[in-house]
Amino acid sequence: MISREFNEIFHKYATDKEIFHDLMPLRAREILLVAPAFDAFTLEQDGLLTEILFEGYYQLNMSNPPRVTNVSTVDEALEKCASRHFDMIIVMSRLGQGGHVELSRALRRADAKIPIYLLLNDNVEVGVMDRRRQDLLRHYDQIFVWNGNSEIFMAMVKFMEDSANVLNDTRVGLTRVILLVEDSIRYYSRYLPILYSEILKQTTRLAKDQNVDRMARTLAMRVRPKVILATSYEEAMAFCDQFQDCLLCVISDRKYPKGGVLDREAGIKLIRALKERIPDLPTLLQSSDPLKESWATALNSGFLNKNSYTLGAELSSFFYERLGFGDFIFRDKLGAEIARATNMEDLREKLRSVPVETLVYHASRNHFSAWIMARGEVQVAKVLAKFRISDYRDPEEMRTFLINVGDYVQRMKTLGKVVPLTDSTPKDEPNILRLAAGSMGGKGRGVAFTHSLLSRLDLESQIPGATIRIPRSAIIGTGEFTDFINRHDLRQMLQEEADDDVIKRRFLAGSLTPELMAKLRLFLAKHATVPLAVRSSGLLEDSLSHPFAGLYNTFFLPNNHPDPAVREAQLAEAIKLVYASVYSKASRSYFQAIDYKIEEEQMAILIQEVSGSRHGDRFYPHLSGVAQSFNYYPVAYTQPQDGIANIAVGLGKYVVEGGKAYRFAPPYPEMDMLPPKEQLRTTQKHFYALDMSRTSVDLYGGEDGTLLHLDIQEAEKDGALHHCASVWDWNDDRIHDGLDAPGPRIVNFRNILKYDQFPLAQILQRLLELVREAMETPVEIEFAVNLDPDPQTGKPTFTLLQIKHQLLESGDVNLSTADLDPAELFLFSERCVGNGIVEGLRDIVWVDPEGFDKFETPALAAELEKLNDRFRAEAGKYVLLGPGRWGSNDRHLGIPIQWSMISCAQVIVEYAMENFQADASLGSHFFHNVTSLNIGYFTVPYPRGSSLLDWDWLRRQPEIWRSGCLVHSRVEAPVHIVMDGRRSASAIFKQAPQPVPPEVEDEL
């Protein structure tokens, strides 16, 4: 029941913040006050009204108090209304001053929809105006009396807003309604300020108690109960009919009109009628006669003496105890207190131990629903209110249900959100915790978005063989970095250009704020002895235009010292060293190269649990890697949109630093991109693990201070290669699945990718698709996999560590074929591998098709190797053109060379001839080098079709060297090479575009 009904509710209402933004669409921003000259002068000079409103808003943590414009005459009022929109108009009156009706009529003609309130000066005027009340109410929306109580202004503003928004807010956000039934201008003018003051005070207190951020507290004020005023029995019943499902309570006077005449027992009749409809509805009867309290008691209603000197305190008590704004007080059947809960988590704990009869006592009076509703969990409270004790098999089943509801509410409130860390934050919830204010930075934003995305998706039902999650994470916002730099006057080090050691010592000598240190202490208490990664999350990091990859430090902490104070010091040291890396020499040089000011950078910190498992004194995941949604080097039948993944055993540092990782396309995990012998040559030989043998760490020496760089055989000893490696069979010249046979190990993850031991390919394919769609750009994700069963789910765990925009290797290349001029091109191909722009190449090494003999390809290979050696000696690069398939072992398909024989080629072209054609060589041993070095690889088919290859132009270029059909030419001006990986199109322009002259650029 819980999961079905509650899921429907929370999906319907999306998130609290989304609901809050839809509440109170009409708020008072502009108020016109029409007052006699003396009152206008007094209010303007003393700033009374403006100050009252400003102070009221400020104290209640509410933003944007309204602006008040004072005028003294009808003409001034009409002039202002003609030039500016007002949300409400307040007309102040004095005894003996007439013209109220004429004034209101004139204002109505100016704008019929503006609420207009008449404010009487004191009770003397009330007596005079009472005789004209019905006539005045045809022209004014409501009449109030000042009596010197300045808080009436705030109450009038809130009353106007409630009247305008109650229909919307009860429909959109199920906002609660308080019905006040009172016909006396004097009493409701006295009562409303007290009522609003109490509502706003209690709502603000609850928001603060729930440890939400300032924005959430401001938005939460919109969901506060709305107050509506009725002045007769019929009007009150009409409101009850309209808002019955949203009534929080009814506060009623004893006597007011019923059936057109004053009924001295109208309030009692109203409460009795409502109790028959809603037995648990809180009601409060107010009367000037204290003897009527017994009547209220008989109706199970509260009572309030209207003449009480402690009216405000008694009303506060009613809110606190009857409407759920205070602590939840567990009582026995005699009403004596036996326990007290201050928040939802505390309530869940108390529910586990209070006596059964106490549960029955509160549930039968609907106290749980009222208390939860006061905390803004309106949807949940409505579900609870539907159930009665008779709906459960026994009270213990009810106890279990209530505890589960509390757990569910807590999970749903924080699901997919970044929440402040507090003492009451559950340890086991997969939340992202905020430890300090400010921006979350690039990595932080990515992790927070991932958390939100995964919380909205039910991936585990689609891929049942794995637990899919993010690591438990905490974010220190950029505010701490800015404060750290300013407090310790560290910005001057940029001018001093200090070396890295000096910078690190200065940063380590600084102190983090006491507030952050307290948060770190609490975080470590909840994550004791769990290995942690302390990552940079710069404001500019992981941007679309610049990667900042590897620029800042990341530290891994064993977090295993028995003394919490030492672990706290280690964490603080790691944070300060990440801060220091912003000012490092490498960072300063990078900022200078990309023409950014380093002062623009601010650093947040991302703290994450390290994903993996412990193997003796080593900690690492079974595999980790990086996957990209767009592959600029597709092979065989794969497409660029299929994406690519690189995986390796151990910590992901090995992959991101360019180690020999295994590559595969997620849609085709069974396809080997390299032939068997090439897999043997390029297989992973080492891996990284976190050293758990030492409790004391030296972070000053760098990121590797806590890591182990181990031979892959150590992973096999740990039992971590069981599903990750195969064996090379020398006898049969093939790969043997499993590790049972002797021989060299090949880390190719065959059990996982080919035999579905773990649904890695399926997870990556789905995640890349979802994240790419959400971010609307190609994306890159980092991940880790622990194949050991998770203690809670019993399944292996896929941990999504980070997402970011996939950076184009050499900028966002857009090769528009429609804009190309064939006369400017040496080569054009729509079969291109690679992405980016290559400049500065003047050397072209080419096989002349007119003298080519396919039976002489071995001799060509030998000549080409000699030529490549000369380029290597001179550190030169060249464009290489040859027929057929480069690198083929079959000399009849192409020139049989190895990579070392053409290693200085920056761009490789395979062209086909009428009598010499072969498929492209991608998938051979070339592939690893082509992809890792961003080598451009072009194929020009035969017949040419849309492709182009201008042999005439090439033959006109000066020849530096020739041996048979192998030619080395050098052009006068460097060619301009463009590779558009998204379209698989490439072009070699005969010369680079000419720069725009400065004078033309100035004109442009």
pLDDT digits (tens, 9 = 90+) for 475-507: 999 999 999 999 999 988 877 677 889 999 999
410: Cβ–Cβ under 8 A, 6 or more apart, which residues?
Answer: 344, 345, 348, 426, 429
Helix (H) or strand (E) holding 975: strand 966-980
- What are 110's two structure tokens? 């100016």
State mean pLDDT over 349-360.
Answer: 88
| Residue with more model confidence, 157 or 591 | 157
Other CB atoms within a 10 A radius of the CB of residue 58 amount to 11
State mean pLDDT over 398-416.
Answer: 69
Instruction: State the average pLDDT for the chain.
Output: 83
pLDDT of 617: 95
pLDDT tens column, 437-478: 888 888 888 888 888 778 777 787 889 889 999 999 999 999
pLDDT of 810: 46
Confidence of residue 413 (pLDDT cuts 50, 70, 90): low
In this structure, CATH architecture of domain 173-324: 3-Layer(aba) Sandwich (3.40)
Angle between helices 395-414 and 344-351 (to 10 degrees): 160
Q: Which of 376, 342, 514, 516 is nearest to 433 (CA)?
A: 516
| Residue with more model confidence, 4 or 579 | 579
Domain 432-610 classification at class level: alpha beta
pLDDT tens column, 714-757: 999 999 999 999 999 888 888 988 888 889 999 999 999 999 89
pLDDT tens column, 628-651: 898 866 777 888 889 999 999 999
Q: What are the helix (H) ranges across 387-499?
A: 395-414, 441-456, 459-462, 478-487, 492-496
pLDDT tens column, 16-41: 455 556 777 888 889 988 887 776 66
pLDDT of 7: 44
892 contacts 854 by C-beta, under 8 angstroms: yes
> pLDDT at residue 271 above 90?
yes
pLDDT tens column, 119-138: 888 777 787 777 778 878 88
266 contacts 184 by C-beta, under 8 angstroms: no
Confidence of residue 15 (pLDDT cuts 50, 70, 90): very low
State mean pLDDT over 324-334.
Answer: 79
Confidence of residue 77 (pLDDT cuts 50, 70, 90): confident
> pLDDT at residue 88 above 70?
yes
CA angle 13, 17, 18 (to 5 degrees): 50
> pLDDT at residue 925 above 90?
no
How far apart are alpha carbons 476 and 532 in whole angstroms? 14
> pLDDT at residue 148 above 80?
no
Confidence of residue 595 (pLDDT cuts 50, 70, 90): low
Q: Which of 794, 798, 767 is nearest to 785 (CA)?
A: 798
Q: Are strands 662-664 and 302-305 parallel, antiparallel or unpaired?
A: unpaired
pLDDT of 52: 59
> pLDDT at residue 402 above 90?
no
Confidence of residue 281 (pLDDT cuts 50, 70, 90): confident
Confidence of residue 886 (pLDDT cuts 50, 70, 90): confident
State mean pLDDT over 849-860.
Answer: 91
> pLDDT at residue 279 above 90?
no
How far apart are alpha carbons 583 and 503 in whole angstroms? 7
Q: Do domains 24-149 and 173-324 have the same CATH topology?
A: yes
State mean pLDDT over 668-692.
Answer: 90
Mean pLDDT is highest, among 129-143, 207-221, 390-404, 863-877, for 863-877
pLDDT of 928: 43
735 contacts 683 by C-beta, under 8 angstroms: no
Name the residue ranges covered by the structural domains of the chain.
24-149, 173-324, 327-414, 432-610, 617-679+706-805, 817-989
Angle between helices 2-12 and 378-386 (to 10 degrees): 140
pLDDT tens column, 601-617: 889 999 999 999 999 99
Q: Which of 697, 929, 771, 844 is nearest to 452 (CA)?
A: 771
Confidence of residue 587 (pLDDT cuts 50, 70, 90): confident
pLDDT of 62: 55
What's the topology of domain 617-679+706-805?
D-amino Acid Aminotransferase; Chain A, domain 1 (3.30.470)
> pLDDT at residue 879 above 60?
yes
Q: Which of 156, 193, 197, 203 is nearest to 20 (CA)?
A: 203
Letter string b/e over residues 469-503, b meaning 16 or more CB atoms within 10 A of that residue's CB: bbbbbbbbbbbbbebbbeeeebeebbeeebeeeeb
- The CATH code of domain 24-149 reads 3.40.50.2300
> pLDDT at residue 915 above 80?
yes
How far apart are alpha carbons 111 and 30 in whole angstroms? 14
pLDDT of 379: 59
Mean pLDDT is highest, among 46-50, 427-431, 457-461, 989-993, for 989-993
Of the chain, the percentage scoring pLDDT greater than 70 comes to: 83
Helix (H) or strand (E) holding 181: strand 177-181
pLDDT tens column, 833-854: 777 889 999 999 999 999 999 8
Q: Are strands 905-911 and 878-883 parallel, antiparallel or unpaired?
A: parallel
- What are 139's two structure tokens? 């022209």
Q: Quick one: how many helices (H) and strands (E) in the chain?
A: 37, 43
> pLDDT at residue 61 above 50?
no
How far apart are alpha carbons 462 and 495 in whole angstroms? 55
pLDDT of 552: 86
* 85-89, 102-106, 834-838, 839-843: segment of lowest average pLDDT: 102-106
Confidence of residue 346 (pLDDT cuts 50, 70, 90): confident
> pLDDT at residue 48 above 50?
yes
State mean pLDDT over 97-112.
Answer: 74
437 strand-pairing partners: none
State mean pLDDT over 592-609.
Answer: 81
State mean pLDDT over 86-95.
Answer: 80
pTM for the model? 0.61
- 611, 616, 618, 619 alpha-carbon torsion, rounded to 10°: 0
Tokens 């000197």 label which residue? 309
* 490-499, 508-517, 692-701, 769-778: segment of lowest average pLDDT: 490-499
